[in-house]
Structure 1
Amino acid sequence: MTQPPTPTADTVRRLVRSLLPESADGAGGPDVRPVTEGRTHTWWVGTRHVLRLAPDREATLRRRRELRLRDLVRPHLPVAVPASVAHGDWAPGLAYTLDAKLPGGTADEHDVSAVGEADLAGLLTGVRAVPVRQAETLGVPRSAPRSLEALRRMAVQAAQRLAAADEFDAARLLQLTPPGAAQLAAQPGTAVLTHHGLTGDHVVVSPDGRVRGILDWTEAALGDPAEDIAGLAVAVGSPAAVRAATLAGYGARPCLRGLWLARCDTVTRLADHLEGRTAGSLTLLRSQLRRAWEPILLERVTELKEE
């Protein structure tokens, strides 16, 4: 099997010169730099563009689908979705998209205000309004709901390992009992379009706390709306995520399901990282754990009425 090429700064500059001739002014050529150190497939281009390079054929399919999906979701959302300035192949069979940069920082950098929570409610309302059949026509896959009980069991074991490392109080997971997890199982017939990749660096937030845009729709799926509530709990904190979901019309069951998906995920991810099974930022994983475990008013998982 042929090894996919690794993009370099020279690779990116040559591509950018062909796409943005005006950027070639100056002896050094266009200003390009990786968005994150160690990630060579996403690059800032000056101050106004971001270039994303697919590393393999599977990512290429997702990139090309994303271009069509962004056009589909854009009319339904009160927040911005990136617009493509150019797209094509940067290497044989490997796609790129050059997008206009959305102004603002990330949810990891700025807190979301009360008005920003209303923006997030509009996001959840908007993706739910996208016709499932149209999304399927674009090739958006279906994703089966995850078993909260299976996640709970994994998280209980992970929490014990974190407790031994003095990272987490394992007793906090006792709030979610097996009957409670069963009550919070996904309900049949609730599949909607979900972003399915909401993280702090995918939520664009302005310094005043408004949510200005949502990035990276490559993981979008038709499935459990609680996954996006869980993503927001990790990105902006559980109270803000649950308030936004409630404003969007979601009841106690999906809100609590999203809350516990986030809590189980963050416990397990932090334990895996500390044991050397995953890479990433330890500081960020600890912050995500803290956000997901912020207390909310809807903590009870018993006596839920059928919705």
Structure 2
Amino acid sequence: MTQAPTPTADTVRRLVRTLLKDAGNDTSGPDVRPVSEGGEHCTWWVGTRHVLRLAPDREAAARQRRELRLRDLVRPHLPVAVPTSVAHGEWSPGLTYTLDTLVPGGTAEEHDVSAIGEADLAGFLTGLRAVPARQAETLGVPRAAPRSLEALRRMAVPAARTLGTAEEFDPARLAQLTPPGAAQLAAQAGTAVLVHHHLKGEHLVVSADGRVRGVLDWTGVVLGDPAEDIAGLALAVGSGAAVRAATLAGYGARPCLRGLWLARCDSVIRLAERIEGRDDSSLELLQTQLQRAWEAILLERVTELREDG
């Protein structure tokens, strides 16, 4: 198998100059710099108005091609911005790129989401549900089976003990989710919708006043369990904001609580893996996500789960 080339500043600079030349720009082009210092340098800032994303392998290239079509499909349904590609093609044989417009704003890791921002998130969840599943499948969006909350709970139990030993978490808190409770919060048949599936804080563009202005990274979209996006929001903006947004979007107690507990179990497992040296993610970020997911919310006092309308 041929080794895929590693993107370098020279690679990016030559590509950007070609794109600018094609656009009739006679300058030498804007500065380019990687979005992050580590990793494979697959995402680059291009000046102050664009982001260049390079697919590192053929699987990523296939996802990127699908993403370009998918963003056009979802854009009319959403109240927040979706990046627009101003140029796309191949930066190496079989490996794609897209030069996207920069959606202005910070991230949910930098700015708190306001009450109006929660309404933006509600509109986002409502818009995803409105996207026709058949059209998404035509573009190649896969279906994903819902995760077993009981299986996740069983994985979280020893992870919680690890966190207890490290004085990061009280394992007794996980006892709130019993096996019967996990079974009651199992995903229901016929509820699959378009799911972003990658709602991290870094993928939510948030303005200084707390409005959610855009959502980035549409490569992991599936047709599946809407509770996964509620869980993603719980980790990104906190359980309270996530559940309020989902409730505004028309989701009932069951998917909201299911999303809450998916996030809680995930946060315990991920932080335990980090402490045990099996995950190299930011320790501070994982600790913050644990705190967000375990925020107490009023909905937890509901004793009878209502079926969604």
Relative to structure 2, which stretch is displaced further, 13-22 or 145-154? Answer: 13-22
Mapped contact 1:256–1:301 kept (Cα < 8 A): no
Aligned equivalents of 1:165 and 1:232: distance in 2? 26
Relative to structure 2, which stretch is displaced further, 189-198 or 274-283? Answer: 274-283
Aligned counterpart, 1:35: 35
- Normalised by the length of structure 1, the TM-score is 0.97
Aligned equivalents of 2:163 and 2:277: distance in 1? 13
Aligned equivalents of 2:20 and 2:61: distance in 1? 22
Mapped contact 1:180–1:301 kept (Cα < 8 A): no
**1:99 partner SS:** strand
Aligned equivalents of 2:304 and 2:113: distance in 1? 31
Mapped contact 1:183–1:301 kept (Cα < 8 A): no
Aligned counterpart, 1:204: 205
For residues 1-307 of structure 1, the aligned pairs below 5 Å read 1-21=1-21, 25=27, 30-39=30-39, 40-300=41-301, 302-307=303-308
Q: CA deviation at 1:278?
A: 1.5
**1:141 partner SS:** coil
Structure 2 residue identity aligned to 1:44: W
Mapped contact 2:252–2:307 kept (Cα < 8 A): no
Aligned equivalents of 2:130 and 2:100: distance in 1? 25
Aligned equivalents of 2:250 and 2:141: distance in 1? 24
Long gaps (5+) in structure 1: none
Aligned equivalents of 1:300 and 1:185: distance in 2? 19
Aligned equivalents of 2:26 and 2:35: distance in 1? 20
* Alignment RMSD: 1.2
Aligned equivalents of 1:234 and 1:45: distance in 2? 29
Aligned equivalents of 2:63 and 2:201: distance in 1? 21
Structure 2 residue identity aligned to 1:108: E
Identity of aligned residues (%): 79
CA deviations on 1:117-168 (whole Å, 9 max, x unpaired) are 0000000000000000000000000000000000001011101001111111
Aligned equivalents of 2:121 and 2:48: distance in 1? 26
Q: CA deviation at 1:23?
A: 6.9
Q: CA deviation at 1:305?
A: 3.1
Long gaps (5+) in structure 2: none
Aligned equivalents of 2:303 and 2:94: distance in 1? 52
Aligned equivalents of 2:47 and 2:170: distance in 1? 45
Structure 2 residue identity aligned to 1:201: E
**2:299 partner SS:** coil
Aligned equivalents of 2:298 and 2:9: distance in 1? 49
Q: CA deviation at 1:30?
A: 3.0
